[in-house]
Amino acid sequence: MSDEKEKPNQSGTDGNEGQENGQQSGTDGVGALPEWAQKKLRDANAEAASYRVKLREREAAEEAAKQKLLEEQGQLKALYEAAQAKVKEVETVAE
């Protein structure tokens, strides 16, 4: 993955930093809704947040696994190259 690539908002919020409990100021916001609707929205937002956290954790685990795989591939390549050098050495001695 490229570091230059745009990354989604990883601040743990969804752009509503100034809003408490999902309520907006004014009459057009969540605060104008009945309490039961506000609770449903809070619950849905909390559930969505938990899924975002799980997604970030899985992405981090996937990246760690990829890095480990690349390290192992590097070690295998080094072993292969060492074995190839030994084979050439043995072939040279056998001639």
Q: Which 3 state secondary structure label does DSSP give 94?
A: helix
Task: Let me know how many helices (H) and strands (E) the chain has, helices first.
Answer: 1, 0
Which of the two residues, 67 and 19, has the higher pLDDT score?
Answer: 67
- Is residue 29's pLDDT more than 70? yes
14 belongs to a structural domain: no
Q: What number is the average pLDDT over the span 6-35?
A: 60
Residue 29 CA to residue 62 CA, distance in Å, equals 38
The model carries a pTM of 0.52
87 belongs to a structural domain: yes
Q: Which 3 state secondary structure label does DSSP give 8?
A: coil
7 belongs to a structural domain: no
Write down the residue that tokens 């908002």 correspond to: 9
State how many domains the chain has.
1
> How confident is residue 82, by pLDDT bands cut at 50, 70 and 90?
very high
- Is residue 42's pLDDT more than 60? yes
Residue 42 CA to residue 86 CA, distance in Å, equals 66
16 belongs to a structural domain: no
- Is residue 78's pLDDT more than 70? yes
Start-to-end CA distance of the chain, whole Å, equals 48
In which domain, by residue range, is 56 found?
30-94
- Is residue 4's pLDDT more than 80? no
How much of the chain is in helix, strand and coil states, percent to nearest 5? Answer: 65, 0, 35
